[in-house]
Structure 1
Amino acid sequence: MRSRFTRNQDAVNVDLTPMIDMVFILLIFFLVTASFNKMNAIDIQRPDGSTNDSQDAVALVISIDPQNGVWLEGEPIDIRKLRSRVKSLSGGEHTSVMLNADRSVNTGRLIEVLDQVRLAGVNNVAVATAGQ
């Protein structure tokens, strides 16, 4: 006996494009949020400032903790090695550096770090403040 119902032999196709789009969106989200976390990795009380410079692309973050310890990209570094390390990480004259110093840091230490950054060839240096 022959059945009057015929089976459709075509395979079911599943479109994976929306899933791939979502994976890329999640990947971009995690990359962006991870870059914000590196600036806040060290507990720093920023000094107050009346003006804030907005920087679009901060290439390097240098932090100075309350004990006058220097941190480059979240890792401790000796002040004597700071110039060579910044020079090796910088992308030329278009590199910018954000100095993230605690309010209790003595001014001499801040100037030392600033001098080492400028001697490394970076002229675009800003000091982060708490804002208003």
Structure 2
Amino acid sequence: MMRRRESLTLDMTPLVDVVFLLLIFFLVTSVFKKDELALLLNLPEGKEGGKMVKKKEAIIEMNRDSLAFNDHTVDFKKLDEELSRIEEKSLPVIVRIDKKVEYEQIIKLFDLLKKHGLNNLALVEKAAQ
């Protein structure tokens, strides 16, 4: 009597399970892109979380040596020109200020914002962990 050979096939079911598990693992462990800052800032910490502004906004960042407006390094004169171009005075202005910036510089910035009627300010803090 002759033996019949059975053909061997690879069972794909466990392979599909492994692929889906790897996909889920990489999605869960991936780090999503955070807001990119134009300047390296050491923000003060806050105890309560803030609201995120979802509509168009102007972003001002300040450290001891530099000032940035919408990801471009500027000086106070150039910032004055940029702020004068803003037509919508209710535009949210996101302000990130390093905690080591001198008080006089902060007042100078707020005076510029007041001069141009931009009063919708949001001061950004480092999120408490």
Tell me the TM-score normalized by structure 1: 0.62
Partners of 1:93 and 1:63 in 2: CA distance: 19
AA paired with 1:92?
E
How far apart, in 2, do the equivalents of 1:59 and 1:109 lie?
A: 22
Shift of 1:52: 4.1
Moved over 2 A (4+): 49-53, 55-58
* Higher mean C-alpha displacement, 44-53 vs 110-119: 44-53
For the Cα contact (< 8 Å) 1:53–1:126, is it kept in 2?
no
Counterpart residue identity of residue 76, structure 1: T
- Unpaired stretches in structure 1, ≥5 consecutive residues: 1-32
Amino acid at match of 1:73: N
- Describe the shift of the 1:81–1:131 C-alpha distance in structure 2 as closer, same or farther (beyond 3 A): same
Q: Which runs of 5+ in 2 are unaligned?
A: 1-32
Which residue does 1:98 correspond to in 2?
94
Distance 1:118 1:58, change over 3 A: farther
- Given the alignment, which residue of 78, 83, 86 partners 2:80? 83
How far apart are residue 123 of structure 1 and its match? Answer: 1.1
The alignment covers a number of residue pairs equal to 95
SS in 2 for 1:126: strand
Structure with the greater alpha carbon radius of gyration: 2
- The match for 2:58 among 53, 57, 60 is 60
* TM-score of the two chains, using structure 2 as the length reference: 0.63
Asked if structure 2 preserves the Cα contact closer than 8 Å seen for 1:66 and 1:102, the reply is yes
In structure 2, what is the equivalent of residue 50 of structure 1? 47
